């Protein structure tokens, strides 16, 4: 099942929906991929022989100790893992997108630097060859619907998260629509094609952010769950 809708204490909209302009919502969106990465890294490095103190139990304890959203998991964590270990795992994942969950793949790209533009791989301006190539690979990664959500929900989450985290070249109305829809998708809803088209038309009619948010709330109440 999806997560319940909650108001963001920073922007007042639904949590996640204020990204990328609301820093708190943007950090929550980053956590969608970061949480999956931490879990994956624990599986990869926690079971590797010879790594002292990287047992799953200890990592779990660290996670429960209060994670700062968007802080990432590189750095001296004192658990025997190094930034080099993490980078090696990221490079491996980046080379085999079709073997990994999209959340893990997106997080791996964030840990690599583009040789062409120097930005995080896949996050540079549209038109950078290295980033465009890596960005295209994202869609080879695996999407698994959470239990109890309509089929295709995970794909919709992925597209919206991808757009919100890499908004270059996306029109303002589309970015607004995708960010405002994200909380409902995470809650387990999915618009029909007709509802999505109706929203798209409403967004293009160019009203204020508050009016658009109210429309998204109204339309989302009709989504299948
Ligand atoms: Zn917010
Ligand atoms: Zn680049």
pLDDT in tens, the chain (225 residues): 567 889 999 999 999 999 999 999 999 999 999 999 999 999 988 755 444 444 444 444 343 434 444 444 444 445 567 888 999 999 999 999 999 999 999 999 999 999 999 999 988 877 899 998 898 888 899 999 999 999 999 999 999 999 999 888 888 888 998 999 999 999 998 888 888 888 788 777 767 778 778 877 877 777 666
Going from the Cα of 124 to the center of ligand 2, the distance in angstroms, rounded, reads: 5
Structural domain including 93 reads 29-60+70-142
What element of type H or E holds 211? helix 209-220
Check whether residue 130 and residue 172 sit in a common domain. no
Does 5 fall in a domain?
A: no
Residues, CB within 5 angstroms of ligand 1 (ion): 8, 10-11, 18, 22, 24-25
**Considering every ligand atom, which ligand is closest to the CA of 182?**
1
Does 79 fall in a domain?
A: yes
Q: How far is CA 88 from CA 41, 62, 123, in A?
A: 11, 22, 19
159: three-class secondary structure by DSSP: helix
Going from the Cα of 204 to the center of ligand 2, the distance in angstroms, rounded, reads: 30
Question: DSSP state, 14?
Answer: B
pLDDT of residue 76: 46
The total number of structural domains that make up the chain: 2
Q: Is the ipTM of this complex over 0.95?
A: no
Check whether residue 90 and residue 162 sit in a common domain. no
């Amino acid at each position: 099942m999806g997560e319940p809708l909650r108001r963001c204490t920073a922007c007042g909209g639904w949590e996640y929906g204020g990204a990328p302009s609301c820093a708190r919502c943007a950090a929550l969106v980053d956590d969608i991929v970061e949480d999956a990465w931490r879990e994956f890294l624990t599986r990869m490095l926690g079971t590797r022989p010879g790594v002292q103190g990287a047992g799953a139990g200890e990592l779990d304890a660290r996670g429960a100790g209060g994670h700062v959203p968007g802080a990432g998991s590189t750095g001296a964590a004192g658990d025997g893992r190094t930034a080099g270990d993490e980078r090696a795992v990221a490079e491996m994942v980046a080379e085999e997108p079709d073997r990994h969950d999209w959340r893990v793949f997106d997080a791996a790209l964030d840990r690599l630097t583009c040789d062409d533009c120097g930005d995080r791989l896949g996050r540079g301006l549209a038109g950078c060859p290295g980033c465009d190539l890596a960005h295209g690979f994202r869609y080879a990664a695996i999407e698994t619907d959470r239990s109890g959500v309509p089929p295709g929900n995970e794909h919709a989450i992925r597209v919206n998260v991808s757009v919100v985290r890499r908004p270059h070249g996306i029109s303002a109305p589309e970015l607004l629509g995708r960010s405002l829809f994200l909380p409902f998708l995470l809650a387990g809803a999915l618009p029909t094609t007709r509802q999505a088209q109706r929203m798209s038309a409403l967004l293009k009619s160019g009203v204020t952010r508050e009016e658009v948010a109210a429309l998204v709330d109204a339309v989302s109440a009709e989504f299948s769950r």
